[in-house]
Structure 1
Amino acid sequence: MGRSMTSLALSAGDPSGIGPEIAVAAYMARDTAGLPPFYLLADPALIASRARRLGISLPIVETTSAEAAQVFARALPVVALAARCVDSPGLPQPVNAAATIEAIHRAVADCLAGAAAAVVTCPIAKKPLYDAGFRFPGHTEYLAHLAARHCGVEAMPVMMLAGPDLRTVPVTIHIALAEVPKALTTELIVATARITATDLISRFGIAGPRLAIAGLNPHAGEGGAMGLEDERIVRPAVDILRAEGIDAFGPLPADTLFHARARAGYDVALCMYHDQALIPAKALAFDEAVNVTLGLPFVRTSPDHGTAFDIAGKGLARADSLIAALKLARQLADTDAKAAAA
């Protein structure tokens, strides 16, 4: 079966969070939202239980990844996990960790085997996984491990927040702000930018991507008056990238990088730390931004929010970001397939 005919593999995320219910909500909105076929990797009993809690009459069919596309129009296709779950919205359970991990693992395996077009993941929480013995810092690192395990190639995953009007990439991610200057290197910026440029070409279909490189310090250091990192670390990275033919420019002051006129001049902004990238992305499109993992041998997207334990099971969660993630995953998978076939 060609990849264009396969469904998206959606992992339900932490069963105690909003993942199961936004998956259900996305399915219920499939026609109005124009969603591509997907199947949910989950405990079918938990999905049925969560739908009942929310007062949703949900048709569910346990199926296989190969048959999901034929089922999708009439029922939510659920590929059952071996692990079973406790339905306890808002109360994370270490006993549910096995299902969370299994869903991610099987989604990746399906995608790499050609049984799924792309991987879409609902949010997970780290603590229940750590309590159950999970040894990876988070989703992204586990995905890179699975890619290496299945393909034998080490992957450097890069996080991108993609919205209708802005794409941002944080060069350093989940570390304390005080640690950023120690972790930031010219080599890291260059490696992140190369992967970003490659995926913008092959998956986003942008022939000559323009990369705006933010400075670390206020005013991009103002010639060294506000810190030396921009001249010693960031600018040499820009020079290397430009010498390689990548249209990168900077370092640029972050405080003037994200207004509409500035955004028109680039395809992605590479930012030096987590909040420098995520604040503008979420401020502009909190309900529509999508987390895309670049640098993997498969397409992976996810909503830009977390498990939201505080509202799980209350019918308050919105599926907008998941819907956007499903649509973007299909688009990227199709563009990737065309680039590979060319």
Structure 2
Amino acid sequence: MADGTGDSRLKLILDRTEQVAENVLLLEFEAVGGGPLPPWEPGAHLELRLPSGLSRQYSLCGDPADTSSYTFCVLREERGRGGSVEVHRDLKAGDEIEARLPRNHFPLVDADEYLFVAGGIGITPIKAMVEEVERRGASWRLVYGGRVRASMAFVSELAALGGERTTVVAQDEAGLLDVPGIVRALPEGALLYCCGPAGLLDAMTDACTAAGVADRLHLERFTASGAAPASGGEDTAFEVELAASGVTLTIAADESILEVAQSVRSDLGFSCQEGYCGSCETRVLAGRPDHRGTLMSPEEHDEEGTMLICVGRSRSPKLVLDL
């Protein structure tokens, strides 16, 4: 977890790339100078500092037992914010890059049975989970949807691993995933893990809530939710004290904590600026945050004593942050 004081950094070198599906590039990084990399568990992501200065997060999809490399996939999105295009266009074998230690906001909880649902590039964390559950000997099933089969990474590998337990649904062949039907078929006591575009995750959340199984749903967003978070009223100005920097700032009604704090702390990590990636997660020392992200629930943030400063605001006149 980010604590606002700066995470340890890794120096990585790109060993190889591979086109694993239409517009999907696999990248494998090793430590500069060789040697083992810090461990990770299924669901973890790696945040890269791209040559342009952009920070982007990608879910690890290799074998956690292999500490010699980190593997992840990047979907090229021409209408995105530029990071994926830069990765596809500019990164070449031999390039060195900086990254943060792997972090995990999507951990795989122990269970006897799992249902995994992936949409598009959301297969990347799910693939690592499926392989881990298979190693453990637990029961599992995977439903994997995508626009067209050619755009879906790891179809052959997952079909070979799961056999009839793996269901591949290409939209041009069979239409969209039947989310209510998937939820209705959830085995008693099984956990449901889902990752993919916002529309799929919103539909899955609604279906699980309607079916009374929302407590068994675990999901990770690659984009912000389509639903607007509750704000508790009109935005107003408030103060933020940066404890480590010894500065108190005023956050206007139309400003974010992140953008104002950057005038003092230009090193602050951030990526999505929409409250779902966790790059800007910061420890709260005093005050009552108004949590507006989708990474965790407000209760989970309060329990951990953190907030996302890209979208979060304050319910008290002043917040004190560990920055």
Please give the TM-score of this superposition, normalised by the length of structure 1: 0.30
More helix by share: 1
The answer to which structure, 1 or 2, has the higher relative contact order (CA under 8 A, 6+ apart) is: 1
TM-score (norm 2): 0.31
